[in-house]
Amino acid sequence: MEKAKRFQVSLKVIWGSSIALAVMASIPKLFDADSTPGDLIINSSITLLFSLFIWYYNIYSLPKFSSQRTNKSLFNWKLLLSVVLGILLMVILVIAHQELFQVSKMDAPIMFELRGVLINLIVYMFLHLLFQNYQTQQMGVELERTKAVHLGAQYELLKQQVNPHFLFNSLNTLKSMVDMQDPQSSDFILKLSDFYRFTLESRKMDLIPLKEELQILDSYVYLLKARFEDGFEVIKEIDAQQYDCAIPPFSLQLLIENCIKHNIVSLDKPLKIKLYTENDFLVIENPIQLKRGTLSTGVGLNNINQRFLHLVNKEIEIDKTETHFKVKIPLIYDYHNN
């Protein structure tokens, strides 16, 4: 996993602001007739050294250099400690410059202290606002990373939601065919094997070409017809030019399964499902002949919808009339598998 970017303050900001404060502190001396170049140098050097200390002290007192959590309040004991240390440092700098340069006349110490407190407050507030902004950005990055991981896990679960009842029903159908010594038992076994081989090959893929999905569907439909015989039929009217488009694997299986789950499938009332393309959509249409007592939970359609939202940020469309039910799924033209 990519490491979080460390909080840093540019050396240009630290030194540039310190030099600027030093120059600003010396400006009043330019208008003082009694001031000398030495006075300018002393004022500037004291301010420069003090500003650099305050910058680095506050940087190293940030939470990344301590075991303490970030205090939500901008004004806290750290600011008080910084001010106290700043006052002590300013006293030391003033005394050191008096001894080093043997200056007999300097600004009153209280002026240096007030200047120091003002610089301390400016640097402290600016630095902590920068740090809070950095933390907010890091929280946003971490939140996005967490969302991505969560969505990835959700999508993996969605891909695994292939109805296990289909396998049980297929095995029961196979048992009946074997008991009846149906000559098509061998073909049924081969088709069942093909279908689950497709399942294993495609389960790790986000998208597959429509042509491959239709091949999977052919095996699936063969197994269903062995169970329902002439009570079930899938009519395909799909433009061959759109075979290279992509859809999430097993989308058509889930939609066909959804039709069978909610509608009567019998020799007396055959269920005829039509598949055709309409603009940039693949349409699955079936007549409404609902089973009694069937309650729709919407899990199957929601599964497909969530997969499309996750992969291409598109939703499926549902068109329901009194006699027919249509589901339109977007065809994806530009795609790649992760």
Can you give the pLDDT at residue 67?
40
Return the minimum-mean-pLDDT range out of 107-116, 120-129, 174-183, 272-281: 107-116
CA distances from 11 to 5, 16, 20, 130 (A): 17, 8, 14, 15
Alpha carbon 254 to chain centroid distance?
27
Can you give the pLDDT at residue 264?
92
Which residue ranges form the domains of the chain, and what is each CATH number?
9-157 (no CATH), 162-328 (3.30.565.10)
Can you give the pLDDT at residue 69?
45
Q: Which residue has the higher pLDDT, 199 or 15?
A: 15
Q: Which residue has the higher pLDDT, 257 or 329?
A: 329
Find out whether 249 and 205 touch, Cβ atoms under 8 Å.
Answer: yes
Determine the residue type at 41: I
Return the minimum-mean-pLDDT range out of 21-25, 115-119, 154-158: 154-158
- The answer on pLDDT for 48 being more than 70 is yes
Q: What average pLDDT does this structure show over 93-107?
A: 60
- The answer on pLDDT for 42 being more than 60 is yes
Split at pLDDT 50, 70, 90, the class of 305 is confident
Can you give the pLDDT at residue 274?
95
Can you give the pLDDT at residue 98?
60
Q: Which residue has the higher pLDDT, 172 or 150?
A: 172
Split at pLDDT 50, 70, 90, the class of 65 is very low
pTM above 0.75, yes or no: no
- Only one residue has tokens 């729709």, namely 296
- The answer on pLDDT for 71 being more than 80 is no
Share of the chain above pLDDT 70, in %: 70
Can you give the chain as a three-state secondary structure string? CCCCCCCCCCHHHHHHHHHHHHHHHHHHHHCCCCCCHHHHHHHHHHHHHHHHHHHHHHHHCCHHHCCCCCCCCCCCHHHHHHHHHHHHHHHHHHHHHHHHHCCCCCCCHHHHHHHHHHHHHHHHHHHHHHHHHHHHHHHHHHHHHHHHHHHHHHHHHHHHCCCHHHHHHHHHHHHHHHHCCCCCHHHHHHHHHHHHHHHHHHCCCCCEEHHHHHHHHHHHHHHHHHHHHHHEEEEEECCHHHCCCEECCCHHHHHHHHHHHHECCCCCCCEEEEEEEECCEEEEEEECCECCCCCCCCHHHHHHHHHHHHHHCCCCEEEECCCEEEEEEECECCCCCC
Split at pLDDT 50, 70, 90, the class of 78 is low
Question: How much is the CA Rg of the chain, to the nearest whole Å?
Answer: 38
Structure confidence by residue, pLDDT tens digits, 227-283 = 888 899 999 999 888 898 998 888 888 888 889 888 999 999 999 999 999 888 999
- The answer on pLDDT for 163 being more than 60 is no
Can you give the pLDDT at residue 270?
92
Can you give the pLDDT at residue 29?
66
Edge-to-edge, what's the strand order for the sheet holding 232-237? 232-237, 271-278, 281-287, 324-330, 317-320
Share of the chain above pLDDT 90, in %: 15
Structure tokens at 337: 């598998």
Can you give the pLDDT at residue 2?
46
Q: Give 149's contacts (C-beta < 8 A, 6+ positions apart).
A: none
Return the minimum-mean-pLDDT range out of 238-247, 290-299, 319-328: 290-299
Can you give the pLDDT at residue 216?
83
Can you give the pLDDT at residue 68?
44
d(CA 316, CA 151): 19
